[in-house]
Amino acid sequence: MTTKKKRTPIVNNDSWVVIAADSAIDTQKPDSDPAFVRLRNPFTDAASLYMLSSGDVQLFEVKAFEEDFHSWFVGQIVQRDGRLLFVTPMDPLYLILPYLIKSGKEGKFQPVDQVVMDEEFPACSRLLSCKRSLASLHHIAEEKEVGAVKFHRYSQEKTMNWLKKKVEKTATVLKARNISVGEGVKSTTYVRVKSESHYCEEDYLRYAHGLISEYISEDLSKALLKHLQLPELKSPTETEPPSKKRKLSDKPVEAGEDYTKFNSADFARKPPKKMTAAQKSLAKVDKTGMKTMSSFFSPKVKKENQ
C-alpha cells in the first residue's frame, strides 16, 4: 500500500528561524546591518559561518540545531527545513589566534593588521574592528609600542594561561548548569533519579577542555591539556583487553574450534606445546642419526612387538 517516498534535497531557503542575542541586531551604525560572514574556523581550518553585528562591533558564531523529520510552521507558511539557528556571542580572539600563531613562527613583532590577513577569507580583517579584539590581544601576544604604532608577537605562554582561564570559567558554568560531564552518559533528556554530584573537578575540567578545543587547533588543544596537567586519555581501544589475535607462526593454520578432528584417528594427538627460547634453538640443531631421549626409556616389550 505504501510506496517508497523519495527525499528531495532541501534547497536553500531565503528564510531561517534564528535565535539571536539582542546585541546581534543592535544597529549602532545607521548604514551597516549585521551580516553573516564566512571565516576560517580555527578548529577545522575550513570555512564556517559567523556573524558580525552592525559596524563589526561584535562577533557571533552560528550554530544550527538540525535533526531529521522536523519542519516549521511560520505564520501562514511551512518551512521545510526544521533547523533552528543560534547566533551567540563569541570571543574574536579565537579567530585571530591562528593568524598570530602563523606569523609568530617568524618571531618578529608585527602590526596586527598585517598579520590578520587571509586571501581565502578577506573578511577576517574585520575581526579587528570588534570591540574586544585589540583590547584583549595582550592575552595571546606580547606588545611593543613604537610611536603611535603597536606591534605584536604571539606568545604561547600567555595563550596557555588565557586558555586555561577559559577552561576554568567554562567548568564553573558547566557545574552551575548541572551539565552531565561523566563518561558514558549519552542522553541529555534522560531524567536521572540520582543527582550527579559525584563528578570530580577533573571531569569538569576535561569536559570544558573538550569544549574549548572546538575553538582552537588540535596542536593547541594538546598543549592546553598538558598545561592543565590533565593526563591524556587513552583511546578506548587501548583500555580494552588485548584482542585475541592469532599470533603469527610458521605452523600450519588450523581452525580454532574444529570438532571434526576428534572424529579422526588423530584424536589422540596432543596439541603442540609452546617452546621456550632455549628449546627453540635446540630444535634447530641438526639431529640426524641421534636418538631421542625418550627412546632410551621406552619399555623393552614394545620394541619386541615392533
Partner 1 sequence: MDLGPFETDNSVSCRLSSQVPDVCRTEDCCLGIDEAGRGPVLGPMVYGICFCPVSKKEELKNLKVADSKTLSEAERENLFQKLDEAKSFVGWALQILSPNTISTSMLQRTKYNLNALSHDTAIGLVQYALDSGVQLTEVYVDTVGPAEKYEEKLSKLFPGITVTVRPKADSLFPIVSAASICAKVARDRVVKTWNFAEDLGDVDTDYGSGYPNDPKTKAWLLKYLDPVFGYPQFVRFSWSTAQTLMESKGVTVHWDDEDEDGEKAAQRQNNRSMLSYFGASAGGNAQNPTHQTHRFFTERRLKSLDTL
The region of 1-9, 253-261, 287-295, 296-304 touching partner 1 under the rule CB under 8 A is: 1-9
The residue from 22, 68, 232, 240 that contacts partner 1 (CB under 8 A) is 68
Residue 46 sits in the site that holds partner 1 (CB under 8 A): yes
The residue from 37, 52, 59, 62 that contacts partner 1 (CB under 8 A) is 62
User: Least CB distance from residue 156 to partner 1, whole Å?
Assistant: 22
Q: Is 151 helix (H, G, I), strand (E, B) or coil?
A: strand
Residue 176 sits in the site that holds partner 1 (CB under 8 A): no
163-168 long-range contacts (CB < 8 A, ≥24 apart) are 163/212, 163/216, 163/220, 163/224, 163/227, 164/224, 164/227, 164/228, 166/212, 167/205, 167/208, 167/209, 167/212, 167/224, 167/228, 168/205, 168/208
State the amino acid at position 175 in one-letter form.
K
Q: Give the DSSP H or E segment for 77.
A: strand 77-79
Residues contacting residue 5 through CB under 8 Å, at least 6 positions apart: none
Closest residue by Cα to residue 92 from 120, 122, 33, 132: 132
The region of 4-12, 108-116, 242-250, 283-291 touching partner 1 under the rule CB under 8 A is: 4-12
The residue from 8, 235, 264, 288 that contacts partner 1 (CB under 8 A) is 8
**Residue number with CB closer to partner 1 (110 or 180):** 180
Residue 235 sits in the site that holds partner 1 (CB under 8 A): no
The residue from 105, 145, 146, 186 that contacts partner 1 (CB under 8 A) is 186
The residue from 11, 22, 146, 188 that contacts partner 1 (CB under 8 A) is 188
**Residue number with CB closer to partner 1 (40 or 152):** 40
State the amino acid at position 256 in one-letter form.
G
In the range 190-209, which residues lie near partner 1 by CB under 8 A?
Answer: 207
Residue 11 sits in the site that holds partner 1 (CB under 8 A): no
Residue 219 sits in the site that holds partner 1 (CB under 8 A): no
Place of cell 641438526: 286
Closest residue by Cα to residue 202 from 236, 240, 233: 233
Residue 53 sits in the site that holds partner 1 (CB under 8 A): no
Burial of 211 (0-12, 13-18, 19+ CB in 10 A): middle
**Residue number with CB closer to partner 1 (65 or 102):** 65
Residues contacting residue 300 through CB under 8 Å, at least 6 positions apart: none
User: Least CB distance from residue 3 to partner 1, whole Å?
Assistant: 6
Kindly list the residues in this chain that would bind partner 1 in the complex (CB under 8 A). Answer: 1-8, 12, 16, 36, 38, 41, 43-49, 61-69, 78, 85-86, 179, 186-188, 207, 210-211, 213-214, 218
